[in-house]
Structure 1
Amino acid sequence: MRRSAFFIRMFALITAIPAAWGTTPVRAQEISASINTTQALMGETLIVQVQVKNPKQASAPEAPKTDDFEIQMSGAGPQQSSSTYIINNKRWTDVTYTYTFTARPKRAGRLVLPPFRFREGGAVFATEPITVQVSRHIGGELLLAEVQSRLTRAYVGQPVDLTLEVWVKQYERDGFRLDVSDMWTLLMRNQQLNSLGVFEKVATPKWKPGQRTDEAGKTHEYFVYLLETTVYPERPGPFDFGSIALGMNYPITLRRDVFGRISIDRDRVVQVTAKTPSLEILPVPTQGRPADFNGAIGRFTVTATAKPTEVAVGDPITLTLAIRGSGTPLERLSAPKLANVSELTKDFDVPLESPAGEVEGDRKLFSVTLRPLREDVTQIPSLPLSYFDPDTEKFATARTKALPIRVKPAEKLALPTQLGSPGDARPMIAQPTEATEGLIANFTNPADVLVNQSLSVGPAGWSLLTACPLAYVAAWLATRRLRRLASDDKVRRSSQAYGTAKRRLASGANDDPASLRTALSAYIADKFRSDGTGLTRAEAVALLRARGVKDELVSEVDRLLEALETAEYGGGLAAQDAKDIGPMRVRAIIDTLETVRVR
């Protein structure tokens, strides 16, 4: 019996070995962490690499939360590596994902970096904690950064000058001394450690020498790099400077090779986050905002010239406006909204499109074509340029001088008696043509003449006789309407309001809230016969109520105008706003208002 049991066990063992050879080994999941140094200085950035082996799904491990370190994952994705093993004719592969984190000590002392964790399938894998000895740096900070701003608050669209000061301690040790160019090269070498936020497009910095005193009272030399830029805030609220962090591999020791070239022997990673000032951005006020306001922030002057100054009714006059000032850069300055100036539109045909303008030296020129509507027009009126002065926090208006012009009646088509020179004018008399066939006989028999010659009109004749008076009445009504339109500017604008609004919407940018707001307010002014073409939001609402428009529709128009004003002076339409206040919404409101009868 004992022998039988022994042989049975041996047989089971022998048969199990081939089965094991035919099975693919299952690789275990692991997580581990390593750090570039366990001896660090305050201000030094430590590099932590976390390796996750054989995950079923690649996902970043969780960084620990601690009061001792500021931990962030590097912006670059994980590095993937694989290792293949063959043992006893069996093959398997380990896949490892390496994630890089930065850890900056917040205080000196013996600190512990807590475990990083990786979760998968309900299981939690953790690294071992890492102990780091952090000491205070003796000899002053190696790297500092701070953003400077003269203003603590500004308005949307107002230019704000910013300066990023970067202080780098000059390296001088063991006979080596790095100059201003060397230190800047070291600062910009490791792009993974640097992000410049709103200063990203600054190519070359200025610099100046600087000195700082350490805790022991010793003075140290620094290079102070100055990055300057001007920003134009687009939205109200705290200004977003972006992520501004600077880092470098600051040398501990240098060495010189056999060719005399200097290289870094040992270094430490130093990274700082720039201190940013408090900068609050305010919206441009809506109360008291002139109808011709085009978003200009600062202080400006405007002059005007016109050529020619003697024209006939309907002939073109080129009006050129020259704008000078400080604040909004001339390149970003929009043309004045002349179509909203009622003093101009009542006497001239003013184009709806805004000219692009051209910068010449210290001024920006805008040229538009005006056409006088009547021969009694004697001048181009004084034209406004409204702007918002952030120093006084009030709207102000600069004006051009009125320009005298002479308007003649439009030329009429010359009659035949008016052709040629005045002295030679003679009536044109047609020469008679002699009839060669004489009188054609009509009736030769008197009895035929006495026969009843009554005329039968018929249906076609009656239709013609009826149509003639109707055509006369229609022509009279059309003529009366044309005369009324010519004599009454309000009636003419009201009849053309819908078509004018559609052209404005088609000519403006779909994402430009200023064009959309102008199209809607101008339509309301034209359709409901306002004295002026440019209406503020409050004036538009008051006009609709005075014309008997229903309160629900008036409230809807008010909300839309308010949203467009907010978008106009707050950076434009966002993607999520396009449906609510975009061109389709404005067109829908105009279509609804078009059904309202004006009283």
Structure 2
Amino acid sequence: MSIKTILHLLLIFSLGVIAQKTLAQSIRVEANFTPSSVSNTSRTVYKVVIHGTQQNPQGSLPQVPGLRISNNPQSLRSANFINGVPSVRVELNFQVQPQRTGNFTVPAWKVMIEGKSYQVPPATLQVLDPSQQEKQAHQDLRQAAFLELPFSRSYFFEGETIMTSLTLFIWDRLPVNRIENAPTKIGESFSSNNLGKWTAEKRNVSRNGKIYSTFTWPVALTAAMAGTKEISFTVNLRVRVNSRKNSPFSSPFFNDPFFGFGREESLTVELPRKSIEIKPLPSANRPSDYSGAIGNFRAQSSVDANQIEVGDPVRLNFSIEGKGNFAAIPAPILESNEEFKIGPPAFLFEGNEEIKSEGRQNFEFILTPQKAGNLKITPLNFSYFDPIQEKYSTIIGNEINLFVKPGEKWIEPPNQNESQNSMPSNIAMSTNDLFQTASDPGIWHSSLQPKSIESNYWFWTFQILPLSGTLAFGLLGWKRRNKFNEDFRIKKANLSRKLNENADHRDPTGFFRAFKDLTRMQISKKDKSRNTFAFSSDELITFIKEQKFDKNLIIEIEEMLRLGDGLEFAESSSQELDFKDLRRKVSEILKKLS
């Protein structure tokens, strides 16, 4: 038994199993309009779906005043397995044309299926005028894709970094191909971090009775001036549309059952402008050393060594940890004095460098002690404004003691003359300690004159390399030009052969096509920036006139091209053509063009 026969038997068996299973399956009837809201100039579909059978129902569809319903429904049958359970259904689609605005309901009606009576449930259609339909479309569009930017408080302070998140909601039925770009801030009242790729993505989020996918970006906003300020964001999506009529910019696109199989268009999603009250910082009880820090912080100081020697550097680290506007916090002031020489601080932030709203900011100073003893490093205080408690706070720095040792002192060597004078005169100098130092004479040269650069081997090597490259590129260019000329010659020879063969076989269409191609080849040398092979007859004649050829030659070419076009489009007859004379004329024209 062949494999094909076995597959046929398995298919018949499967269909039999489905048929037997569905006999015991309960029949269920559904009815709805798709879409359920249209304008009086649009059409919709009244759909009746019967689950559990594939037999066509018998019944009479009631007529509804104000709706013209087709009497010839489109019937669709399907059979498949859902979670291993066979499922069959039949679907009837009735085309509906509204005749006026209003709400219309197809009442419940009876159908006969497999000898039994079943009730089709009622279905309601909303018909709006075009202006109402457009408003409804915009409302539906706002629910299909929108942005949310929540704030934790109703007001903020000038210079405060506002941490929030921007979330894009995309309805699962919206056919989005991709998010074109990161959200863009609208307005100059706030500074913001750069929004790149989203940091959080969720599926199956329920909102407004729909299921959405969400994409979230962390946002850090800072207002530089007090007052009521506005903020908004936009983002572009690439969506698929079927036609301009059904595009998301003029109708409720997601009600189109065939939406999503056409071209792409850009859909702009804009956050409605949000007004935020920005208060100025209070001037009462403001510390004298306050430098603009807003948030909730902790601060401490530390050194990498408690005992050093004079001249040895020590690192002093002042760290601020918490939540706030780290990007606006300057380094504390610590100046040199008679005890320490202090260099400028180094900055190191531990946290999200892009947002800088939470983490640890380190300021590292290099201190060099100038004297020995128990020295004290000046305490570093830090003042900030707490926007939650709406008051200023100051962190008193801890005092750091540093024990500095004097280190080793430099001892001056004794004077050589004094040492010699102190030696006894009767002690003779021993010659055994005397020795002669031999020096390496190096390489002997015949002359002290420096050698010229031309006698250097590397000089000629560096001269030959660019020369070789120039020759190589020249050779490649020459070969390329020869190849182009050779291809041109071969193509011209093939067209000439084709022209002669068509003349011998008295084929006027092929003859004049070959002539037109040869003419295009000849004039292509006049202006290589233009593709003459794509010229039509009219464009070819116009181009030849621009090149200022002989007028008689232009007239001859135009006559030949017009004659060829007339024969090709059946405007002229080829019965009385003298191909011998035509071949002679073509040969003369091509010689004059070359």
Q: Which bracket does the TM-score occupy, shorter chain normalised?
A: 0.3 to 0.5
When normalised by structure 1's length, the TM-score is 0.37
Higher relative contact order (CA 8 A, sep 6+): 1
When normalised by structure 2's length, the TM-score is 0.37
Larger Rg: 2
